[in-house]
Amino acid sequence: MRNNIEDVAKRAGVSIATVSRTFKHPDLVAAKTRNKVMDAANELDFSISRSASVFQAGRTYRIALLINDRSSTWFNAHMYEGLDSVFHPAGYDITFSHIVTSDTRRAFFENLPIRRNVDAVVVASFDISRQEASRLHSMGIPIVGINAMPQDAFSLSISIDDEKAMHLMTRHLIAMGHRDIVFIAFPSKPENVGTLRFSANERSKGFQRACEERGIDPSVILIPDDENIVDNALTRLFDRDHMPTAICCQQDSLAVPLVTRLQQFGYRIPEDISVTGFDDLDSARQIGLTTVHQDPTQMGAAIAQRTLDLLDKKPVNPSHETLDTQIVFRHSTAPVKDVTTS
């Protein structure tokens, strides 16, 4: 912490400008001079102060990441990893802003605490209103979205089509003869109902649309998203007259343990009940769950790269990307056995 660029300059017998150049533009410095400088720097344990160069660069080299959940979530942790894999090497720090309750949300958009202090904003997994979008844009920096809507509120965006994916999945089930299908989901948080679209809602819609298209009465179970999600689901399931032939889960983190527990109660998956998930967690692959694949790491890396291009004023092709949704067919789904379908 002690030695600064001037100490190195003195020791190397050059000017501070030369020291700076040695680090930032080595090619502009004679090899001999460069070595002198590097030696001096090593002896003094010197390296360029990031704070100082960031400061003088005018850019903040900081990216705000807006999330509406914990950062340790499967999606968020992987997305962060993808973002960081691109932003970090480019010299950017990523900092989370947790937009969880409607209060924090309002406070955030009113005060924009990150104003003037980040070079770009990444909005992940939640939708923003037009008003919030324009508020964000008042900062005059790129706003990019990951699984966030509406797309045109963002400078760049990347998303999967949750509705379509779940629609596809439901059709898969229906095509195998299932008519008694239950969709299990977590309810939207109250502060988000109505105005905003979340992945969860889209998935629910996709399920319902597929059912309605085939004249099936969609059966949806909403369970609290607490520490006992599987118990909650089982309770509601057992509360019915009979078990459905297929269970469509909003996400793998529910489907995976549910499979295990159903097995423990003697239900064979998929012989007795088909189960599907969404996300494609590692554990989903391990247990052979049929699910919708998405790769948040890759999404993060992709949008980060495009954001970087935008910041560097390079041409960025497509501004808005909707990834193909892909179902991974494994062995938690099978045709219905006893076909008593009307």
User: Judged by CB, which is closer to its own copies: 89, or 194?
Assistant: 89
Helix or strand or coil: residue 182? strand
Nearest-approach distance from CB 66 to its own copies, in angstroms: 14
Q: Choose which of 29, 136, 184, 299 interacts with DNA (CB under 7 A).
A: 29
Question: Judged by CB under 7 A, does residue 140 bind DNA?
Answer: no
**From CA 143, how far away is CA 300, in angstroms rounded?**
14
Q: Where are the beta strands (DSSP E) in the chain?
A: 62-67, 93-98, 120-124, 143-146, 156-160, 181-185, 219-222, 246-249, 274-276, 291-293, 320-323, 326-328
Question: Judged by CB under 7 A, does residue 117 bind DNA?
Answer: no
Nearest-approach distance from CB 98 to DNA, in angstroms: 24
Place of tokens 């410095």: 29
User: Judged by CB, which is closer to its own copies: 140, or 315?
Assistant: 140
Residue 151 interacting entry, from its own copies, DNA, none, C-beta within 5 to 8 Å by type: none
- The footprint of DNA on residues 46-65 (CB under 7 A) is 46, 48-49, 52-53, 55-58
Token pair for residue 152?
A: 């045109």
Residue 317 interacting entry, from its own copies, DNA, none, C-beta within 5 to 8 Å by type: none
Helix or strand or coil: residue 184? strand
Binding residues vs its own copies (CB under 8 A) = 1, 45-47, 49-52, 54-55, 60-62, 70-72, 77-78, 80-81, 84, 88, 93, 95-96, 113, 115-117, 138-141, 227-230, 253, 256-257, 259-261, 263-264, 269, 282-283, 285-288, 297
Between the CA of residue 241 and those of 230, 238, 262, what are the distances in Å? 19, 8, 16
Q: How many CB atoms lie within 10 A of CB 262?
A: 21
**From CA 309, how far away is CA 317, in angstroms rounded?**
10
Phi, psi of 210 (to 5 degrees): -60, -40
Token pair for residue 225?
A: 């998203």
Residue 33 interacting entry, from DNA, its own copies, none, C-beta within 5 to 8 Å by type: DNA
Residue 96 interacting entry, from DNA, its own copies, none, C-beta within 5 to 8 Å by type: its own copies
Question: Judged by CB under 7 A, does residue 18 bind DNA?
Answer: yes
Q: Return residues touching DNA (CB under 7 A).
A: 4-6, 13-18, 20-21, 23-25, 28-30, 32-34, 46, 48-49, 52-53, 55-58
